[in-house]
């Protein structure tokens, strides 16, 4: 079982409009709703790849109930979310069908009380023994300590479970210092962490700060990986146009899938970059175009650098 932790779960709502114009009224051509948050997206992709997954974090209010109802309809994903008093957030993505650009609006999330956070820590410790890997993903809701991921990483390491961290800002800085097995920042998050806008130098610096392996997401340019076993650059064969929301989460799913399948690093990176590109072609985060994925996987380029 792969455990994904999404402390700030969401109901992802995607609107599609012909062309997005400021200060104008728009007719929405299509609406989709999905349970969301980075770790939930990761879990759905993992399940589609055939992995048993468990989702944990918080869910509250009417939105939280909707998230849990939708998760119950997702094959291969087990719901281990904890109920809280505050309402789960919504995220709104507005896709401009003329340009392909996406505008994202993210609510902050529920206020988590000290008692709720303590209950989660106990729950997490109970889930760890059954996990083959853990992904800690996304932002922290109000009330959760900024060093929360660092503590969760230390617990996973104590349990002998490999742990991946995908977050940003101060939670990323503190989490890296706790020595996760893998971090997956994008270029902006990596630059903020290290102060360097040179991805090669920044991945090296992130490893010095504590991460065992760093895989930087460079958008359409693919992935740059720096691991104890070597350094690689993975690129998709073509630049895909569509909705990029969730592409990074699919890359995380590919890396975790490759880890538990014990693939060599080039194969893990091929899987990750192909899933990321195939997600751009899907209608919503947490999904990927399977036919495109298989073609992209066969043609993805991974070179040692």
Catalytic residue ranges: 249
Give strand pairing partners of 83: 59
Residue 13, class by beta-carbon neighbours within 10 Å (0-12 exposed, 13-18 middle, 19+ buried)? Answer: middle
Structure tokens at 23: 């200060």
User: What does DSSP say about strands 301-304 and 230-235: parallel, antiparallel, or unpaired?
Assistant: antiparallel
User: What does DSSP say about strands 223-227 and 163-166: parallel, antiparallel, or unpaired?
Assistant: unpaired
Using an 8 Å Cβ cutoff, are 240 and 229 in contact?
no
Chain centre distance of CA 90: 16
Using an 8 Å Cβ cutoff, are 9 and 36 in contact?
yes
Structure tokens at 201: 């130098």
Distance, CA of 187 to CA of 191 (rounded, Å): 6
């Amino acid at each position: 079982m792969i455990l994904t932790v999404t402390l700030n779960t969401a109901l992802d709502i995607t609107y599609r409009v012909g062309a997005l114009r400021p200060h104008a009224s728009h007719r929405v051509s299509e609406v989709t709703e999905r349970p969301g948050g980075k770790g939930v997206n990761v879990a759905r992709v993992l399940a589609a790849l055939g992995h048993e997954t468990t989702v944990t974090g918080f869910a509250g209010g009417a939105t939280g109930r909707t998230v849990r109802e939708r998760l119950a309809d997702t094959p291969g994903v087990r719901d281990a979310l904890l109920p809280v008093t505050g309402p789960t957030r919504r995220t709104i993505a507005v896709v401009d069908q003329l340009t392909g650009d996406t505008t994202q609006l993210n609510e902050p999330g529920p206020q988590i009380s000290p008692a709720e956070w303590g209950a989660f820590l106990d729950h997490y410790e109970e889930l760890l023994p059954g996990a083959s890997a853990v992904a800690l993903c996304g932002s922290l809701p109000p009330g959760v300590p900024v060093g929360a991921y660092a503590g969760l990483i230390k617990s996973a390491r104590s349990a002998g479970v490999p742990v991946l961290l995908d977050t940003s800002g101060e939670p990323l800085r503190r989490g890296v210092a706790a020595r996760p097995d893998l971090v997956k920042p994008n270029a902006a998050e990596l630059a903020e962490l290290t102060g360097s806008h040179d991805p090669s130098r920044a991945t090296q610096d992130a490893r010095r700060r504590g991460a065992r392996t760093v895989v930087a997401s460079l958008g359409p340019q693919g992935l740059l990986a720096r691991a104890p076993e070597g350094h690689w650059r993975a690129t998709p064969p073509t630049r895909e146009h569509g909705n990029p929301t969730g592409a990074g989460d699919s890359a995380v799913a590919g890396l975790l899938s490759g880890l538990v399948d014990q693939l060599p690093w080039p194969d893990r990176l091929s899987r990750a970059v192909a899933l990321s590109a195939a997600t751009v072609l899907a209608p919503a985060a947490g999904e990927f175009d399977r036919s495109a994925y298989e073609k992209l996987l066969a043609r993805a380029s991974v070179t040692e650098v």
